[in-house]
Structure 1
Amino acid sequence: MAQNPPALDQEYVHVALTSDENTIVGTVAAVNSIWKNSRSPVKFLLLTNDVAYPMMKQWIENTELRDITYDLKQFDASLMNYARFFYPILFPDVHGRVVHVDDDCIVQGDITELANTAIKDGHICAVSEDSNPISSKYNFYQSVYPDFINFEHPEIQKIGLNAQQSSFNVGVYVMDVDRWREANITDQVFYWTELNSREDVYGSGKIMGGSQPPMMISLHDRVSLFEPIWHVRELGASAGTRYTRDFIETAKLLHWNGSFKPWKGTSAFGDIWDKYYVADPSGKVTLPPKAQNRKL
Structure 2
Amino acid sequence: MGFRRHSVELLLVLWVVLWPFCIGIRSIETRLPVGEGDGFGVYGALQFVEAAQYRNGKECPANKQFASLCDPSFVHIAMTLDLEYLRGSIAALNSINHHASCPDNIFFHFIAAEFDPANPRLLNQIVRSTFPSLKFKIYIFREDKVINLISSSIREALENPLNFARIYLGDILDSCVDRVIYLDSDILVVDDIRVLWNTKLTNSRVIGAPEYCHANFTNYFTPAFWSDPVLARVFKSRNPCYFNTGVMVMDLERWREGNYKKMIENWMEVQKKRRIYELGSLPPFLLVFAGNVKPIHHRWNQHGLGGDNVKGSCRPLHAGPVSLLHWSGKGKPWSRLDSGKPCPIDGVWSSFDLFNGRSPAAAPSMGYSSFL
Same fold (TM over 0.5): yes
Residue 253 (str. 1) matches residue 324 (str. 2): yes
TM-fit CA distance, 1:3: 3.6
Alignment CA distance shift 1:156-1:145 (3 Å): farther
| AA matched with 2:165 | A
| Greater alpha carbon shift after TM alignment, 170-179 vs 78-87 | 78-87
Aligned residues: 270
Residue 223 (str. 1) matches residue 293 (str. 2): yes
TM-fit CA distance, 1:161: 4.2
Residue 35 (str. 1) matches residue 35 (str. 2): no
Alignment CA distance shift 1:216-1:115 (3 Å): same
Look up the match of 1:206.
Answer: none
SS of 1:66's partner is coil
TM-fit CA distance, 1:67: 0.7
Alignment CA distance shift 1:243-1:184 (3 Å): same
| AA matched with 2:201 | I
CA contact (8 A) 2:350 2:363 kept: no
TM-fit CA distance, 1:121: 2.0
Residue 62 (str. 1) matches residue 129 (str. 2): yes
Q: Distance in 2 between matches of 1:287 and 1:187?
A: 43
Q: Distance in 1 between matches of 2:238 and 2:313?
A: 32
| AA matched with 1:157 | A
Q: Distance in 2 between matches of 1:195 and 1:225?
A: 28
Look up the match of 1:190.
Answer: 265
CA contact (8 A) 2:238 2:292 kept: no
| AA matched with 2:204 | G
Considering only aligned residues, what root-mean-square deviation do their CA atoms show, in Å?
Answer: 2.4
TM-fit CA distance, 1:268: 3.6
Look up the match of 2:252.
Answer: 177
SS of 1:62's partner is helix
Look up the match of 1:143.
Answer: 215
CA contact (8 A) 1:156 1:201 kept: no
Residue 210 (str. 1) matches residue 248 (str. 2): no
Q: Distance in 1 between matches of 2:61 and 2:226?
A: 44
Q: Distance in 1 between matches of 2:238 and 2:74?
A: 39
Q: Distance in 2 between matches of 1:3 and 1:56?
A: 33
Q: From the CA coordinates, give the structure whose radius of gyration is larger.
A: 2
| AA matched with 2:261 | T
Instruction: Give per-residue Cα distances to partners, 1:62-107, cap 9 Å, x unaligned.
Output: 22x1211001112235521101111110113343320011110000
Match of 1:114 among 161, 179, 196: 196
SS of 2:175's partner is coil
Identity, in percent, stands at: 25
Alignment CA distance shift 1:161-1:34 (3 Å): farther
Look up the match of 2:58.
Answer: 2
Normalised to the residue count of structure 1, the TM-score between the two structures is 0.82
Which aligned pairs between 1:119-130 and structure 2 lie closer than 5 A?
Answer: 119-130=201-212
Q: Distance in 1 between matches of 2:364 and 2:99?
A: 26
CA contact (8 A) 1:262 1:291 kept: no
| AA matched with 1:243 | L
CA contact (8 A) 1:145 1:162 kept: no
TM-fit CA distance, 1:28: 1.2
CA contact (8 A) 1:95 1:177 kept: yes
TM-fit CA distance, 1:293: 5.2
Instruction: Give per-residue Cα distances to partners, 1:141-194, cap 9 Å, x unaligned.
Output: x42331112322344234234796321111101001101111111111111111
Q: Distance in 2 between matches of 1:83 and 1:198?
A: 22
Structure 2: which 5+ runs fail to align?
A: 1-56, 63-70, 148-160, 368-372
TM-fit CA distance, 1:278: 1.8
CA contact (8 A) 1:124 1:175 kept: yes
TM-fit CA distance, 1:289: 4.6
Q: Distance in 1 between matches of 2:235 and 2:313?
A: 39
SS of 2:171's partner is helix
CA contact (8 A) 1:263 1:288 kept: no
| Greater alpha carbon shift after TM alignment, 97-106 vs 259-268 | 259-268
| AA matched with 1:75 | F
Q: Distance in 1 between matches of 2:281 and 2:359?
A: 29
SS of 1:236's partner is coil
| AA matched with 1:62 | S
Normalised to the residue count of structure 2, the TM-score between the two structures is 0.67
TM-fit CA distance, 1:233: 1.1
CA contact (8 A) 1:29 1:106 kept: yes
Alignment CA distance shift 1:59-1:196 (3 Å): same
Residue 262 (str. 1) matches residue 333 (str. 2): yes
Q: Distance in 2 between matches of 1:144 and 1:95?
A: 35
